[in-house]
Amino acid sequence: MPKRSSGDGNPHSGSARMRDVAARAGVSTMTVSRALNEPGKVSEEMRERVLRAVREIGYLPNHLAGSLSSNRSTTIGLIVPSIDNSIYTQTVKGLSEVLKSSGFQLMIAESGYDPNEEEELITVFLSHRVSGLVLHSTEHTPQAAEKIRKSGIPVVENGNIPREPLDMVVSFSNYDASYAMTMHLGRLGYRKIAFASLYSVHNDRSQDRLQGYHAALRQLGLDPDPRIVLETERGLAAGAEVMARVVQSVPEVDALFCAGDVLVVGALFECQKRGWAVPGRIALASFDDVDLLRHVSPSVTTLRLPRYDIGERTARILLSRIMDGAEHLRGSVVDLKFELIQREST
Amino acid sequence: MPKRSSGDGNPHSGSARMRDVAARAGVSTMTVSRALNEPGKVSEEMRERVLRAVREIGYLPNHLAGSLSSNRSTTIGLIVPSIDNSIYTQTVKGLSEVLKSSGFQLMIAESGYDPNEEEELITVFLSHRVSGLVLHSTEHTPQAAEKIRKSGIPVVENGNIPREPLDMVVSFSNYDASYAMTMHLGRLGYRKIAFASLYSVHNDRSQDRLQGYHAALRQLGLDPDPRIVLETERGLAAGAEVMARVVQSVPEVDALFCAGDVLVVGALFECQKRGWAVPGRIALASFDDVDLLRHVSPSVTTLRLPRYDIGERTARILLSRIMDGAEHLRGSVVDLKFELIQREST
DNA sequence: TTGTAAGCGTTATCAC
DNA sequence: GTGATAACGCTTACAA
Query: How does pLDDT run across A232-242, given as a tens digit for each residue?
Result: 999 999 999 99
Q: Is the pLDDT reported for residue B183 higher than 50?
A: yes
Which H helix or E strand runs over B49? helix B44-57
Q: Is the CB of B65 under 7 A from strand D?
A: yes
Is there a single domain that holds both residue A151 and residue A184? no
CA–C1' distance A108–D14 (Å)? 40
Is there a single domain that holds both residue A55 and residue A136? no
Q: Which residue among A12, A106, A272 places its CB closest to the CB of B129?
A: A12
- Identify all chain A residues contacting B152, using CB atoms and an 8 Å cutoff: 10-14
pLDDT of residue A12: 54
Q: What are phi and psi of B302, to 5 degrees?
A: -160, 180
Is there a single domain that holds both residue A299 and residue A179? yes
Is B62 within 8 Å of A54 (Cβ atoms)? Answer: no
Is there a single domain that holds both residue B300 and residue B178? yes
pLDDT of residue B46: 94
pLDDT tens for chain A, 346 residues long, are: 345 443 334 455 568 999 999 999 999 999 999 999 999 999 999 999 999 999 999 999 999 999 999 999 999 999 999 998 888 899 999 999 999 999 999 999 999 999 999 999 999 999 999 999 999 999 999 999 999 999 999 999 999 999 999 999 999 999 999 999 999 999 999 999 999 999 999 999 999 999 999 999 999 999 999 999 999 999 999 999 999 999 999 999 999 999 988 999 999 999 999 999 999 999 999 999 999 999 999 999 999 999 999 999 999 999 999 999 999 999 999 999 999 999 999 9
Q: Is the pLDDT reported for residue B96 higher than 50?
A: yes
Q: Is the CB of A68 under 7 A from strand C?
A: yes
Is there a single domain that holds both residue A186 and residue A273? yes
Half-sphere exposure of residue A166: CA atoms within 13 angstroms, side-chain side: 29
A87, A117, A129, best to mutate vs chain B, most B CBs in 10 Å: A129
Is B259 within 8 Å of B197 (Cβ atoms)? Answer: yes
Here the CATH number for the domain that contains residue A140 is 3.40.50.2300
A63, A96, A143, best to mutate vs chain B, most B CBs in 10 Å: A63
A28 CB contacts (<8 Å, ≥6 apart)? A22
Is there a single domain that holds both residue B35 and residue B82? no
In 3-state terms chain B splits into helix, strand, coil percentages (rounded to 5) of 50, 15, 35
Q: Is the CB of A13 under 7 A from strand D?
A: no
Is there a single domain that holds both residue A218 and residue A319? no
Residue ranges in A58-128 assigned as alpha helix (H):
63-70, 86-101, 115-127
- Spell out which residues of B between 30 and 69 contact strand C, using CB within 7 Å: 30-31, 34, 40-43, 45-46, 65, 68-69
- B260: in domain: yes
Q: What is the largest CA-CA distance in chain B?
A: 85
Is there a single domain that holds both residue A268 and residue A204? yes
Closest CA to A209 of A272, A159, A147, A150: A159
Cα–Cα distances (Å) from A91 to A88, A198, A290, in that order, read 5, 20, 14
- A262: in domain: yes
pLDDT of residue A1: 38
Is there a single domain that holds both residue B111 and residue B199? no
DSSP B196-212: EEE--TT-HHHHHHHHH
- B8: in domain: no
Q: Which residue among B71, B82, B106 places its CB closest to the CB of A7?
A: B71
Cα(B127)–Cα(B185) distance, rounded to whole angstroms? 48
- A345: in domain: no
- A346: in domain: no
Tens digits of per-residue pLDDT, B3-54?
554 333 455 556 899 999 999 999 999 999 999 999 999 999 999 999 999 9
Closest CA to B186 of B152, B213, B159: B213
Q: Which residue among B58, B71, B108 places its CB closest to the CB of A12?
A: B71
Tens digits of per-residue pLDDT, A168-224?
999 999 999 999 999 999 999 999 999 999 999 999 999 999 999 999 999 999 999
Is there a single domain that holds both residue B188 and residue B243? yes
- B6: in domain: no
Centroid of chain to Cα A126: 19
Half-sphere exposure of residue B203: CA atoms within 13 angstroms, side-chain side: 19
Cα(A100)–Cα(B30) distance, rounded to whole angstroms? 38
- Identify all chain B residues contacting A61, using CB atoms and an 8 Å cutoff: 127
Q: Is A252 helix (H, G, I), strand (E, B) or coil?
A: coil
- Identify all chain A residues contacting B295, using CB atoms and an 8 Å cutoff: 236-237, 240, 265-266, 269
pLDDT of residue B2: 46
pLDDT of residue A7: 36
Here the CATH number for the domain that contains residue B55 is 1.10.260.40
**Nucleotides in chain D with any atom closer than 7 Å to protein CB:** 1-14
- B344: in domain: no
- How many helices (H) and strands (E) are present in chain B, helices listed first? 14, 12
Tens digits of per-residue pLDDT, B208-266?
999 999 999 999 999 999 999 999 999 999 999 999 999 999 999 999 999 988 999 99
Class of residue A174 by CB neighbours under 10 A (exposed 0-12, middle 13-18, buried 19+): buried
Cα(B317)–Cα(B326) distance, rounded to whole angstroms? 9
A2 CA: nearest nucleotide by C1': C7
Beta-bridge partners for A79: A109, A135
Tens digits of per-residue pLDDT, A5-23?
433 344 555 689 999 999 9
Q: Do A291 and B123 touch (CB under 8 A)?
A: no
Domain encompassing residue A142: 75-172+308-337
Tens digits of per-residue pLDDT, B297-329?
999 999 999 999 999 999 999 999 999 999 999
pTM for this one? Answer: 0.94
Overall domain count for chain A: 3
Is there a single domain that holds both residue B127 and residue B246? no
pLDDT of residue B7: 36
Cα(A107)–Cα(B70) distance, rounded to whole angstroms? 21
Neighbours of A55 (CB within 10 A): 10
Q: Is the CB of B27 under 7 A from strand D?
A: no
Is there a single domain that holds both residue B145 and residue B256? no
Cα–Cα distances (Å) from B219 to B182, B194, B224, B283, in that order, read 10, 16, 11, 20
Closest CA to B239 of B205, B188, B273: B273
Q: Which residue among A150, A236, A266 places its CB closest to the CB of B58?
A: A150
Is B161 within 8 Å of B169 (Cβ atoms)? Answer: yes
Which DSSP symbol is given to B301? B
Pairing of strands B229-232, B283-286: unpaired
- A343: in domain: no
pLDDT mean across residues, chain B: 94
Pairing of strands B105-110, A105-110: antiparallel
- Identify all chain B residues contacting A82, using CB atoms and an 8 Å cutoff: 93
Centroid of chain to Cα A259: 18
Q: What angle do CA A132, A133, A136 make, to 5 degrees?
A: 155
- Spell out which residues of B between 70 and 129 contact strand C, using CB within 7 Å: 71
